[in-house]
Structure 1
Amino acid sequence: MALLLGGSAAVMLVLAAAAFLTLRTEDPMPPPGPWPDAIGIATTLRAIAAVPEADREAIAAALSTPDLIVVLNTATPCRQETDVFATRTLRHALYALDMPATPAPLVMNCASDAWRSGLTRVSFDVPDVTFLVHNYARVSGPGMILATLPIALWIGTIATGTAVLLLWSAWSVRRPLGVLAEAVSRYEAQDRPAPIDETGPSEIRGVIRAFNGLQERLARSSETRICALMGVAHDLRTPLTRLALRVEMGDEYMRQDGLKRDIGLMKRMLDNAMSLFRGFDATEEWEVVDLAALVQEVSADFVAVDRPVRTKADYPILLRCQPLAMTRALGNLIENGCRHANNVSVTLREEACDLVLEVSDDGPGMPSRQRREALRGDTRKVPERADGAEHLGLGLPIVAEIVRRHQGRMALLDATPCGLMVRIVLPRTLSSAVA
């Protein structure tokens, strides 16, 4: 806006200077207003007073003009009206001059006739002279142009700049709003729409930024709910598999405590899923648990159904966590290892600043190029293990989300001498908060 006004002012000054140089004349022009008429009246009075009475009629006739009529020794009719601006300014100008007559002149505004504007009558007693002055400004054409050119150029420039600015403002507001309206209308028809470019005024950019964030959150929420539903279905397979194995292996493995634990785990998983899809915060209560005992308990459930799981953990390791979430994470990791390997080992130890949980197997492992995809949780791209076994591919993304919620880190590494190792590092701040 400042650049626009500055450029307009510069253009106006250039045009005004060009017009002044073009219209300038050698003869000075009289200034507008009452002064030319007042000076003409004073000059005429001096000329009449300087000649004999016999020649005054000829002088008066010679000095009369259409705009300033000189009447000598003759009464002129005048229907007086309220003074107008021309009458008042001429009276002030005459009183300011040193008039060669006494007393002061009588200045009156006379009514106009049918074809011309009103007159200002100026009457003198000595000598008996009357002047009839038309009530309009006597300014020459070039003078009028020079007098009005700067203001006309300024007003025209301002009007043009304002019009351009308004048109540009309307376009800059209408275009992004149209794009936003189109994006809103076709939002349902797209799976994950691309964000809209943030253009236009700051307020419009703020609206577009908010809409981009909204559609991103909606898409992420939808994916999270789908992944959560599939994750619950995936997690239920582990206790269901154990129950099926207990039934197949007979009475020796049909222990009530194991059956009750698996059934309770399934019930809690379903309760969390129901609370999630009802719109509540799917946040499990945080409790202080012995992580080593939790690892031993989950491993024992697999050992009870004849799964080759070995555990090595330091006792006790207190941790403030979500017990069901940690149980789901351990169960998923051990289940994945048992599916692809003959032996699975679980190690839990304390290091200087962290708690390290490692679940390794002696299976075929996973190619390094697929490990990042395995942690993303994108159900449309399910990485496969080297053995080519078919599976849902949600176990590792679920574990990664649980680890992230516990402020930890997760990595997929090569086990020694073969297989895959899942390393989870949890901060000691969670255990120090217990103390």
Structure 2
Amino acid sequence: MKRFLPHSLAGQMALLVGLALLIAQIANFALILNERQKLSLAQNEGPAITRFAGVAADLAQAAPEFRADLIADNSHRGARFALAADSGVAANDRDTAIEAKLNDALTDLALPASAVRAAIGGGTADFGRDRGRNPPSDMQVVRLAVQGADHQWLTGRILTPRRDPWLTMRLGAATLLLYLIVLGASLWLTLRIARPLRDLTRAAERFQGRADPIVVEPSGPDDLRLAIEAFNAMNRRVVMLIDEKDHMLGAIGHDLRTPLASLRIRIESMEPEDERDAAIVKIGEMAAMLEDILVLARSGRAREELRRIDVSALAEAVTEDYVELGRPVTFEPSERYVLEVQPNLLRRALRNLLDNAVSYGGSARVDVVAVDGGVEIRVMDAGPGIAVEDLERVLQPFHRLESSRNRDTGGTGLGLAIAQSIVENHGGRLRLSQAEPMGLVAAIFLPFVVENA
């Protein structure tokens, strides 16, 4: 059941308000219709009932020889009374509401009645002949009957205004109109609240601290405007902190490179030679690790401009560089795909993947293919691969698999993390998967449209 319910704020509020209004309007319609029907009964049939009860009371007090004259005297002005052996009202024509009103009127006059009958309709032709014309179309006949102590029935047919046949329809139309007006106003208010929240959510999802602060235009109620303005201010503060971090890392990198270079110069004259070479190697490792840390820290805020280039040609050029160095790397001929990328950073990411493939897989094969929504640059090796449970963890900074990646290979555990950061800066993703029958596939997905965030 839950899967059919709306999940958005606007949808849930619209559903809740709509159902609440519908229930309220149905209840309101039923109450108003009942009251209007009671009012119609009191206004239309009420006078006829009062008149009939009065005639019945007079007839009960009159002497038998005067009853016929009494009935004749009251049979005028749209009314006709008579004494009969039966009520003249069929069982399926009875109107219990009018009978209840008639019984109450007779009780108020302290007039005992063995039975009462009431119905609407019938007998209009007699009124037409009595008056010389047919009754108007907006009139109806109320038939009333009461049984006296002598078991005779006093019957009466009285003309009354016809009940409004369009009452239910008019009330229904008015209720529906009111429901639509209130629902429309509620939906407008819901959308006015939901639209700024949707913009705020999209901005929060897009924000990664890699470009200028995302500014959301304040809109909606004052509470939402304040929240959006606070979000914009927070974005600016976060970007400022990241800029300060970049400047600090740049200064730290400069301050560390200088003493490392000076230390290497001094060590080059150190004896014995084997200890000197080991120290130089360690200093080289420290310099390489420092450079990787700085690249990782600043890759998300790289200032390189986006340029439209052929990514297939870029991958092929990087592959040729490895081939010229005698590395076992091949490039599969691929279609040409022109995308907006940061060429230098993308080369760095691809080189990191190739270094991993050659170092731990023995060789690498590169191809470029089109996929849904973008392009994939795939680097495949034929090495032992990585266990499925480790595929996500190896993308974390400084994470190495002890079985294959250690200090002796020169790895710092930052190559894949740097590649992933660069790819995400392009709005893409880095995916690792097992190759068949063995090996690892590292795929760089680049979307056709890059959104800076």
TM-score, normalised with respect to structure 2: 0.34
Normalising by structure 1, we get a TM-score of 0.35
